[in-house]
Amino acid sequence: MAVATSALREAENRNDLIDPIFSDTGVSIKVISGAEEARLIWLGVRSMIRNKRTKTLFIDIGGGSTEVSIGDVNDLLFSCSLKLGAIRTTQAVVSAGYQKPYTSIIFESLNSTILEELGCIIPELEKHSCFQAYGSSGTILALESIARNVSVTSSAHIQGILTIQELKQIIRFLGKIPLDDRRKVDGLNPARADIIIAGACILMAILEKAEVQKVQVTSYGLRDGLLQEYLLTKVDPGAMEIGPTRQNIIQEVGEIFRIDVSHADRVRNIAVMLYESGKEIHLFNLPDCSLELLMHAAYLHDIGHIVSYPKHHYHTYYLIRSLHLPEFSNEEKEIIALIARYHRKKVAREKDEPFLKLCKSHQKMVKMLSYLLRIAEILDRSHYGRISRVTFNNLTNKAITLNIECPDDISLELTGINDDKGLFKKIFGVELRTTISQLSQNDIIHSVSSELTS
């Protein structure tokens, strides 16, 4: 699933890049049309729509082009690509390396260039009266970040929303200062400072012509659309139909990605035992909904294997986020994805952008649940189902005991738990100790205690 967009669409020598990449890696790059790019962006963003029949405007501002689509969750009514990228438009009105503030003449030239290119879609905007707009791409995300970090209007900024009034104030603010000062603006990546004004003017012009007063900002986009296309057409066209329960939906997703179902079931069951026993003795205090989210994350934690085993936890995160699951809110889907992401390797860190965007209570939830999933995965690391039962007990101010019942030697699994003992104390505030109850064939229990000290 490798595609190229505006830059290679227009490059006469694009095969000088495409052919060597295929020869060296075996990856075939497909150059998609502007209309196809717009359609895929709609496909990737449409899951954000709450009311499935609400007619919505989708805007994605790139460097060389801007993709505009109109539709709802089920139907794409219009899509096109405009030669109005933030880089292209900037280069059309100011010389390379322009450092000074924007003059009224530059703004007139900028708006004239934009409106001339917008002319072809104005009839469609008038024909399809849109009630709301969604904006993707780095440009729109950067503009919302500026609005969030810089007081440009008298009214309070609503995170994830960018109003026309805010856009006007941002354009006025950025236009008055030279490039060096724009690079220092809070919330703006310095690398975008030279093209951000053009991007803001493009967005404002489209919203004004569509008579939509605000745009909801999303990180979803083309990549998500490509994954949706793959899921809906290449894997199993009927697999994503809504089932009777959310658990059935999750199981269908697991089938699509060809997971080891037995392993997924065992990891989920172990995670549930850890959660229920931990909650019973007050190891943590999480909302009731957290158990369901843990169960879904546990079942899907390995779907990233379909991409590759190395870093499969990252692939799992991205795949879960990209799924079109109307039964789940975007927040629920994000939490499930993050729990699965942190089931191995590094734990959740404040500097991780997706994690940082969560509220504090959800950050706490992700940290704790991802660690429970980490233990569950370690205990079925062999995929042989060696664990009969596992529970937390004997909680004190200093330590807690993890009792593991198993008929076989689990030295490998214990090594994994031992490696993570410091993380447990950091997250839950107590030391982790283990008691191994080995069950013989005659069900004689031999207790072997092993204390994991910090």
pLDDT digits 0-9 by tens, 378-396: 999 888 888 989 999 988 9
The pLDDT score that the predictor gives to residue 234 is 56
Band of residue 351 on the pLDDT scale cut at 50, 70, 90: low
For domain 240-450, the CATH superfamily is: Hypothetical protein af1432 (1.10.3210.10)
Cross-strand pairs, 30: 3
Residue 120: both structure tokens together: 């072809």
Among candidates 136, 144, 135, 134, which has minimal Cα distance to 189? 144
DSSP assignment of 90-133: HHHHS-TT--SPPPHHHHHHHHHHHHHHHTTTHHHHHHS--SEE
The pLDDT score that the predictor gives to residue 233 is 62
CA distance 216 to 141: 10
Distance of CA 280 to the CA centre of its chain: 33
pLDDT in tens, 199-219: 999 999 999 999 999 999 988
CA distance 60 to 42: 9
Fold match between domain 32-223 and domain 240-450? no
Q: Model-level pTM?
A: 0.56
pLDDT in tens, 138-184: 999 999 999 988 877 667 888 889 999 999 999 999 999 999 999 99
Dihedral over alpha carbons 353, 359, 364, 368 (to 10 degrees)? -60
Can you give the residue ranges of every domain in the chain? Answer: 32-223, 240-450
Helix (H, G, I), strand (E, B) or coil at 328: coil
Band of residue 279 on the pLDDT scale cut at 50, 70, 90: very high
CA distances from 179 to 96, 175, 193 (A): 12, 9, 7
The residue-averaged pLDDT of 337-347 equals 86
Q: Give the class (CATH, top level) of 32-223.
A: alpha beta
Residue 133 contacts residue 59 (beta carbons within 8 Å): yes
Residue 64: both structure tokens together: 């060389």
pLDDT in tens, 85-122: 999 999 999 988 899 999 999 999 999 999 999 999 99
